Each structure stands twice: as C-alpha cells, then as structure tokens.
Amino acid sequence: MHRFAMMMGVAMTCAAALPAMAQRQCASPADQAVFEVQALRSELMVLATGCQEDTRYNAFIRRYQPDLLANDRAVDTWFKKHFGRAGQAEHDHFVTDLANALSREGSHLGGDFCPRNGLIFSEVLALRGAQDLPAYAAGKALVPASLDICQGPPAPAAPPSKARKPSLKTAQK
C-alpha cells in the first residue's frame, strides 16, 4: 500500500509539471526545430557559464559551428520576416530572454543544477552529426514554457466599424 501511495504521488507530481513543460508549437516544423536548437545552444551556454564547462562548450561550438551559424541565420530571418526593421532588436531580445529564463530555471535547482545537467554536453558531443541536433533538442524540451516562440507582433486592431444611419426611406416607414 505504501508503495502504491508513493507511486501515485510521483504520478501526480509529474502530471502537475506537464503544463509547465508544455511548449508552444510553431506553425512549421522547420521553425520549431530552429527555435529548439537555439534553446539547446543557450542551455549549453548557461551550463558553461554556471558550471565552469567552457572547454566542453567550446568543443560543442567548434564541432557544430557551421550548423549553429546557419541556425542563427534562420532565427534571424524568422524575426526579420515577422518584425521587419525591428527584427534584429526582437531577435536580440529573444536570445536574452531565453538565456535569462534558462538561468532562472537553473538557479531553482540550486547545487543540483550542474550535476543534473552536465551530462547534456556528453550527449550532444556523442551525436553522430549536426543532422541529429534538431531531434535531440526537441527531445530535451528546453524552450521554457514562460517564453513565447514563433509569436510575431500582435495583429493590428481592426478599425471601428461605422454605424450606418438608416436611410430616409427606412426611417419614414
């Protein structure tokens, strides 16, 4: 009975965590993959900074540099397409917000952050190649639920409709 109660507690805890882990989906799988790889890169940067993993972060960057640069261009293109001239500023804002959100999540783990997440470097460096990065990043679900991805600027408000005045013929009847 005690084992059943413990298992139910774990299941309820996991179920409660699902909404926090849910991530917004992009309109296209390609856009989703681009944002997930960006989140992976940011997570590794936060780990490198907070856990003195500079050597492994640099190995990650060197190994995947052409693909990471292409991914960064794809993110940049997405922001320019959706925000026009403000695209670069919005891209910079997004990257900063992403790094800050990942850092906050790490600080909630406290002293467990580095041991719990340090394995990610070994995993990502063991991938067969850059073609595996998007699937790996998607499996890690690193985009914080608090961060909107693939969200363009809000649609402009529709102009107020003018109320039609009744015509004279309709008003006289």
Q: What is the pLDDT of residue 163?
A: 53
Q: What is the pLDDT of residue 107?
A: 82
More confident residue, 160 or 152: 152
**CB distance 115 to 55 below 8 Å:** no
Identify whether 1 is part of a domain: no
Identify whether the C-beta of residue 138 lies closer than 8 Å to the C-beta of residue 33: yes
Domain-located, residue 168: no
The CA distance from 79 to 155, in Å, is 15
What pLDDT sits at residue 18? 34
Domain-embedded: residue 14:
no
Question: How does residue 68 score in pLDDT terms, banded at 50, 70 and 90?
Answer: very high
Nearest C-alpha neighbor of 75 from the set 149, 136, 147: 149
Quote the number of domains for the chain: 1
Whole domain around residue 95: which residue ranges? Answer: 25-141
Report yes or no on 106 lying in a domain. Answer: yes
In a domain, 123, yes or no: yes
Q: Quick check: is 8 in a domain? A: no
Q: Is residue 58 situated within a structural domain?
A: yes
Please give the sequence-ordered ranges of beta strands (E in DSSP) within the chain, or none if there are none.
none
Q: Per residue in 76-128, pLDDT tens?
A: 999 999 999 999 999 999 999 999 998 888 887 777 888 878 899 999 999 99
pLDDT digits (tens, 9 = 90+) for 4-54: 333 333 333 333 333 333 355 788 899 999 999 999 999 999 999 999 999
Residue 109 in domain: yes
| CB contact at 8 A, 106 and 113 | yes
Q: Structure tokens of 92?
A: 């910079």
